[in-house]
Structure 1
């Protein structure tokens, strides 16, 4: 992931039509293309997806922009991004169930 001093971590919650539309798989694909680590999962409420994305600052910031737009077939009504201290999260990017 490059220089560890530039590692950032974002906790992202996306609300809308984001479950049952391939949103988690899309997030994992984007994260892996950018060499980011973390996870994504559906929340129990049926209308939100939560993710933690960690890596170099520029690609993590770009991920927040991409998640705000969402993939085809999804509808993002709201996104909440919290910048948190880098976490001990998976070395790759995974879908949690």
Structure 2
């Protein structure tokens, strides 16, 4: 369960213009082992890509689904993959 993973999640709801990406970054940095980004999409969703220990990615995904997020989350779709690298920190795009 300590293997590294890549989580890509698409969050839909009222998640743009409410500080959602900033809070997602703050939570990723709080977890302390994740790198990646949170980005607004043209269709109103936020895309979150996180790489690091699978347990940390799962913690972030749980927060996205049930945490005290800004705005309103109507649903989260995720896929899992092997890390691709290329990130030094967790950033907002």
The unaligned stretches of length 5 or more in structure 2 are none
Corresponding residue pairs, total: 91
- For the aligned residues, what is the CA RMSD? 1.4
C-alpha offsets along residues 26-85 of structure 1, whole Å, 9 cap, x if unaligned?
00000011121001100012x200010111111110110101125454111110010012
TM-score with structure 1 setting the length:
0.86
Q: How does 1:1-97 map onto structure 2 within 5 Å?
A: 6-35=3-32, 36-45=34-43, 47-96=44-93
Moved over 6 A (4+): none
Distance 1:77 1:59, change over 3 A: same
TM-score with structure 2 setting the length:
0.89
